Amino acid sequence: MRYVTLNNGVEMPILGFGVYQIPPEQTERAVTDALAAGYRLLDTAAAYGNEEAVGRAIKAAGIPRDELFVTTKLWLQDAGEEKTKRAFDTSLRKLGLDHLDLYLIHQPFNDVYGSWRAMERLHREGAIRAIGVANFHPDRLVDLASFNEVTPAVNQIETHPFFQRTADQEVMREHGVQLQSWGGFAEGRGNLFTNPLLSEIAEKHGKSVAQVVLRWLTQRDVVAIPKSVRADRMTENIDIFDFELTDDQMSAVATLDTGSSLFFDHRDPEVVTRFAGFRRDTD
């Protein structure tokens, strides 16, 4: 496994396992299979509703805690200095852990500054090894980095061959923020898995299109967190470190960039309204 070093010196696997849209009743088995396949970075969120299942799989696996890198995220309704601390404690309890490796603000809305102050405090206290954000466009990211004590270690954003975020990544590099991809396979949109260019590259390497996409991401120093409920796909997805895309192939993939999201634009007022209306289950 390759690692990236975050801006505070913490090492993070460049390839992990995400559990977005995996139903809670399937999550424990999926995470168990992922850990058996060799994944050590696990990515979940309060809004996914499956933190407890992730925690059960971690406990059952018996893997030393210092070998795991566990991420979860703060949802909108829990924004604010006091609410963030309570939400963090709830996530930690559901995961059955005594600390997190990475805690992210899930969306760039509501009381981001209050949440960040609480996260900075938790970070100072050692409850979180690194803190970061998700879905922040460069202006919001630079604003947060410029006016706070701790610069976000990670920004998790939609990144795939059809929306490559190269300009965003350059801004992140300037500020020492690690880019992490969500939607690395674009959820199959745009016929990604049958794309002629990606298929041709895959054939030349004797690999699948999924493996080519993950290799492309990691060669760009982007952390990827592919999701699957199939153990064979998990094994395939982690098997990407025995080949390398050529400079010409990397340049060819760059031509697939449309410059636009395939999902939603966080600067669209209707999108903001939709997210504001979403309420995760609480307990």
Measured CA to CA in angstroms, residue 243 lies from 184, 208, 263 at distances of: 19, 12, 30
48 belongs to the catalytic site: yes
Which pair of tokens denotes residue 222? 């982007």
CA end-to-end span of the chain: 36
Identity of the amino acid at 223: V
Catalytic residue among 3, 20, 39, 48: 48
Q: Tell me the Ramachandran region of residue 157: left when phi exceeds 0, alpha when psi lies from -120 to 50, beta otherwise.
A: beta
Strand-pair partners of 180: 156, 223
Query: For 21, how many CA atoms within 13 A lie in the half-sphere containing its CB?
Result: 8
Catalytic residues: 48
